[in-house]
Amino acid sequence: MGMAGKVALLLWAQTLGLAGAQTTQLLVEPPWIPAVLWDQVTLTCQGSGTTGATTWYTDEWSWRQEGRGHFNVTKSGTYRCYRRGSGRSPPVTVLNDWLVLQVPARPLLEGDMVTLRCRSYQDKSLTSVHFFHEGKDLGGPHDRTELSLFPLQLHHSGRYRCRGRVGAVVPEWRESQLVTVTVRKVPVSGVFVSVRPRGGQVALGDRLVLSCAVTMGTGPRSFTWHRGGSETLLGTGPHLELRHVGDNDSGQYQCRASDGYSVAESVPLNVTVLGKRDPQVTP
């Protein structure tokens, strides 16, 4: 499997929050779903445990093969794999139909561009193509077999299919199965904390303000504050203010940002509380 495909699909798992949950993933190469049999499809099972613990299933558990972490598909059907320690993977469907509408097997994030491909059996001649979104004809007929969506927005989510005439001698109308497009908000990342006074050094009894910001992410965000690796909640919101710092306020402070789907945290920021200042003496 190509490195680009692995990276894209591992990103997919992380974006959905699956990697942290140790969920088994079924990766497909070429990275399009549903896959088509005439593309010489390779499936790779990834999860915790050893490769020898992999079990493969297809079409209601009628077939299984122990031990191999990947294999080349020779029959259409719906495939899953199982790894001890991380469980069963989501399904991947391999079709051998007259017409198939494919979506990239990667996270479809708000603001990106995605191309849907209408494929005829063994890439035979395909003309008079129509694309449909939730039953609405998006235009045609035309000989363009790809539909580009840019920039991706949440309302692009839904069920798509394509219709066209397959064959060169006596073309026949064919229609694809429905495929679901799910557009997700860009997950939060690049969380960082700034502090006043600068450097995080503050005199005993003075005021300290920590601020949290996010470099990337398109969804609404919530913030929580923690200290020294503890799960104890110090506060919520983008700012944490300590009006009169005490001796026990020294330590490492961390902010976590969430959009409801993904969570990211900042590098810990060190705060040092210095001894009480000497009073100012006016001559």
At 23-61, the pLDDT tens digits run 899 999 999 999 999 999 999 998 876 656 788 888 766
Mean pLDDT of 200-221: 93
Q: Which amino acid is at 19?
A: A
Q: What pLDDT is stored for residue 66 in this prediction?
A: 66
Q: What pLDDT is stored for residue 5 in this prediction?
A: 44
Cis, peptide link before residue 197, omega less than 30° from 0: yes
Kindly tell me if the per-residue pLDDT of 277 is higher than 80. Answer: no
pTM: 0.75
Q: Judge whether 222 and 258 are in contact, CB under 8 Å.
A: yes
What's the chain's average pLDDT? 87
Q: What pLDDT is stored for residue 82 in this prediction?
A: 86
Q: Which tokens hold the place of 198? A: 């600068």
Q: What pLDDT is stored for residue 22 in this prediction?
A: 61
Q: What pLDDT is stored for residue 15 in this prediction?
A: 39
The predicted-structure confidence for 60-101, as pLDDT tens digits, reads as follows 665 666 667 888 999 999 999 988 888 889 999 999 999 999
End-to-end CA distance of the chain: 78
Q: Which amino acid is at 15?
A: T
Q: What pLDDT is stored for residue 86 in this prediction?
A: 83
**Local confidence band at 153 (pLDDT 50, 70, 90 cut-offs):** very high
Report the share of the chain in percent with pLDDT over 70.
85
* Helix (H) and strand (E) counts in the chain: 1, 28
Kindly tell me if the per-residue pLDDT of 205 is higher than 70. Answer: yes
State how far the Cα of 25 lies from the Cα of 6, in Å rounded to an integer.
11
* Between 21 and 171, residue with greater pLDDT: 171
**What sign does the CA torsion over 151, 218, 132, 11 have?**
positive
Q: Which tokens hold the place of 63? A: 């077939």
- For residues 234-255, one letter each, b for 16 or more C-beta atoms within 10 angstroms of the residue's C-beta and e for the rest, the string is eeeeeebebeebeeebbeebbb
Kindly tell me if the per-residue pLDDT of 2 is higher than 60. Answer: no
Bridge partner list, 109: 184
State how far the Cα of 166 lies from the Cα of 121, in Å rounded to an integer.
8
State how far the Cα of 158 lies from the Cα of 80, in Å rounded to an integer.
24
Mean pLDDT of 6-20: 40
Q: What pLDDT is stored for residue 121 in this prediction?
A: 97
Kindly tell me if the per-residue pLDDT of 13 is higher than 50. Answer: no
